[in-house]
């Protein structure tokens, strides 16, 4: 009987060490810094250029939210990230003679967030340029996980 208990505990221990942390997360687990980075990568590639490369990514602040009136919780990550654009972005928006083309923005503020000064028009980024984003991303808790601003569940 004692050897059976030892064998069972050994098996449970081995499974615990080999399984990802999220596998044991049944209720209330929150998104991680890695999840925030993934959301940012997905959104920056969709908004600017699929070839964008996210380098440094550092969470500056983390916030838990009780979304009033919506009946669910949220989590926000405020971060700084360096993004390199090997091929540039929205090359069709390159200003000519100082004039901004229709459907393009002259703003030098680059963001992926919905809450903070969202620029809706396309923004030109020259090839090879590295930009530093001081941005944020939010997750909303729902059935089956946390939904990121990229539309995916984490």
Residue 96 lies inside a defined structural domain of this protein: yes
pLDDT at 26: 55
Residue 44 within any structural domain of the chain = yes
Let me know if residue 13 belongs to a domain.
no
Domain-located, residue 12:
no
SS3 145: strand
63, part of any domain: yes
69 occurs within a structural domain:
yes
pLDDT in tens, 97-145: 888 999 999 999 999 986 556 788 999 999 999 999 999 999 999 888 9
**Cα gap 100→127, rounded to integer Å:** 18
Residue 18 — very low, low, confident or very high, per pLDDT cuts 50/70/90? Answer: very low
Q: Which domain holds residue 88?
A: 31-147
Residue 58 domain-assigned?
A: yes
pLDDT, position 3: 56
Question: Count of domains in the chain?
Answer: 1
Please state the rounded mean pLDDT for residues 27-35.
Answer: 86
Q: Is residue 115 part of a domain?
A: yes
- How many other CB atoms sit within 10 Å of the CB of residue 21? 9
Residue 13 — pLDDT band, cuts 50, 70, 90? very low
Per-residue pLDDT, 138: 92
What value does the mean pLDDT of the chain take?
84
**Tens of pLDDT along 59-105?**
999 999 877 666 788 999 999 999 999 999 999 999 988 889 999 99
36-63 confidence digits (pLDDT tens): 999 999 999 999 999 999 999 999 999 9
């Amino acid at each position: 009987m004692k050897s059976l208990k030892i064998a069972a505990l050994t098996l449970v221990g081995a499974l615990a060490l080999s399984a990802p942390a999220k596998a044991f997360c049944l209720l209330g687990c929150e998104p991680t810094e890695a999840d925030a980075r993934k959301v940012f990568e997905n959104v920056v590639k969709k908004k600017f250029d699929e070839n964008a490369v996210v380098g440094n990514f550092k969470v500056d602040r983390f916030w838990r939210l009780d979304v009033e009136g919506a009946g669910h919780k949220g989590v926000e990550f405020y971060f700084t990230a360096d993004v390199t654009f090997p091929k540039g972005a929205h090359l069709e928006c390159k200003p000519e003679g100082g004039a901004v083309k229709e459907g393009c923005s002259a703003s030098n503020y680059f963001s992926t967030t919905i809450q903070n000064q969202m620029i809706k028009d396309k923004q030109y980024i020259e090839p090879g340029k590295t930009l530093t984003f001081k941005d944020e991303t939010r997750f909303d808790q729902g059935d089956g996980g946390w939904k990121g601003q990229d539309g995916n569940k984490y």
